[in-house]
Chain A
Amino acid sequence: MESGDEEATEKHRIHLRPATLRDAAPVTLHLLPCEILANRPAPVGRFFTPAIRQRPAGLEVSFRGRLLRGEKVMVPRGLAGYVMVMDEKAEVLERKYASRGSKNDDEKEQQERPEPMERDFDRFLRATASFASFHLWGLETVPGPDAKVRGALTWPSLAAAIHAQVPED
């Protein structure tokens, strides 16, 4: 969320557009062992992907002069992976909301009829891609079973037990 509307944050809802989940095209993902301080298009297919070599010990690639070793990590069964993006439209909606009049009017309105799920000041999120696996890279060594990401990927099965309804007496 944008800074600046901190006050309203708590009542905001961010709607996920369901159709975008259905239509999300598969994506190629690499989780790199380094921080690249940029969020923008990058010629991954020109420089990175073609340099990947299959070795007996796993995948290898040279990236900015460093050797990375990697492996394919499958998304566990029962999970689906999505890449999501916040819609730009939100700003327009914010303005629309602001121009709708005083707060009191809104409150009155809310009392008069049931509140809709989507409100003008809400924001929207959509899935731009989906994935069932990704490449996990380590610096010089294959991340292996100790990789923290692998631990995290077992979380859903544990969460399922924690949140399952308990048996009756």
Chain B
Amino acid sequence: LFHSNNKNSNAILQIHHFFSEYLKDASKKMKSGLMFVKLVNPCSGEGAIYLFDMCLQQLFEIKIFKEKHRSWFINQSVQSEGHLHFATPMDPLFLVLHYLMKADKEGKFQPLDQVVMDDTFPNCTLLLKLPELEKFLGHVTEEKEIDSKKYYKYSKEKTLKWLEKKVNQTMVALKTNKINVGARVQSAVFFPSDQMSSNREEDYIRYAHGLISDYIPKELSDDLSKHLKLSQPSASLAKPSIKDKIKLSDEPVEAKEDYTKFNTKDLKTEKKNSKMTAAQKALAKVDKSGMKSIDRFFGPKSKKKDLKL
């Protein structure tokens, strides 16, 4: 998709059905409205690629599946990188929350357009064009209205409640999709439902907490863990150098996206991979019972034989 130094490169993009629906309606006059921009990753603070659909007024997250030693044949051509890009709808509140928490250091109520500002990622103002956004701000802020202008202030208490709901609905999806969240399972295979019972409720909460933690800063993830009454791992272990290490993923724009979700080799064979997000790193060190969620979710069972040609 964004392969550097190769303008002819093909890449694969999986687009959510919102797109297909959108396409049916797309008229010829529609010249633009779909664009990839770089915004802050609310977990790591680094840049990541997102997709805006200004017509549907929907934000999409881009995840890249990367596996070593994979290439594509695309019709009558070869593409060396066997990548698969996923564009899935994203709750913009995670991104706005990042700015609300930052602005909270000033400790006052502020209009949203003064909160969502970023010299590094100026495209963040596109978030303000999402019409639904204001409706949901109440999940994470206290509101004041003065002269029919609204002012917001981050509320940790409300945010934790909101995140708890997120965890709950994610748990439901984990169960529906029969995703094995058990602690000591070696395989990434999805188990038939009779074996599912071995998944304890707390494993689901941990797993869901891990997934949500990829969209919030580490400290909030810790608070959420307490709020959910998950047994506290001695998390401080991994803390100090995380920020610095994340900087290592300072590659061209496309590489700044957090690949670790899909790039499971990192997990199994290169646990200290610098591309892991802060939360993932911390979690990887302290607890292996289901918190690293997405990584494990995509984890390979065994190392497949590779073929170099």
Contacts and interface: CB of A to CB of B under 8 A. Distances in A.
A75 B13 CA distance: 11
A10 interface: yes
A20 to B, nearest CB: 10
B238 interface: no
A10 B10 contact: no
Interface in A27-63: 27-45, 48
Interface of A: 1-3, 6, 9-19, 21-22, 27-45, 48, 64, 66, 75, 77-86, 88, 90, 117-118, 122, 125, 127-129, 131, 138-140, 143, 145-146, 148-149, 151-152, 154-167
Interface string B13-37: 1111101101100101011111111
Contacts of B291: none
B198 interface: no
B166 A78 contact: no
Interface stretch (B75-83, B149-157, B223-231): B75-83
A6 B295 CA distance: 30
B14 A75 contact: yes
A21 B262 CA distance: 25
A44 B77 CA distance: 7
Nearest to B171: A161
B179 A158 contact: yes
B74 to A, nearest CB: 6
Nearest to A82: B13
A90 B4 CA distance: 13
Interface of B: 1-17, 19-20, 22-23, 26, 28, 30-38, 47, 51, 54, 61, 63, 65, 67-80, 82, 84, 86, 88-91, 120-123, 136, 139, 162, 165-166, 169-170, 172-174, 177, 179, 187-190, 211-212, 215, 252-254, 261-262, 264, 294, 297-302, 304-309
A34 B70 CA distance: 5
A86 B189 contact: no
A145 B12 contact: no
B179 to A, nearest CB: 7
A82 to B, nearest CB: 5
A161 B35 contact: no
Given A32-B82, A125-B36, A78 B17 contact: yes
A163 B91 contact: yes
23 contacts: A1-B253, A10-B47, A12-B37, A14-B35, A18-B33, A27-B74, A34-B71, A35-B309, A43-B76, A44-B78, A64-B309, A78-B16, A78-B17, A81-B13, A82-B14, A90-B7, A128-B10, A148-B188, A155-B297, A156-B86, A158-B211, A164-B169, A166-B165
Please report whether the interface of chain A is mostly helix, strand, loop or mixed according to DSSP: mixed
Considering the complex of A and B, which 4 residue pairs feature the smallest CB-CB distances, nearest first? A161-B173, A166-B165, A16-B34, A78-B17
Given A9-B38, A81-B14, A160 B86 contact: no
A155 B121 CA distance: 27
Contact of A86 (B9, B35, B77, B308): B9
A97 to B, nearest CB: 16
A44 B76 contact: yes
B122 A155 contact: no
A113 B292 CA distance: 47
A82 B12 contact: yes
A159 B38 contact: no
B51 to A, nearest CB: 8
Nearest to B22: A18
B177 A84 contact: no
Given A80-B17, A152-B86, A39 B6 contact: yes
A15 B75 contact: no
A19 B121 CA distance: 28
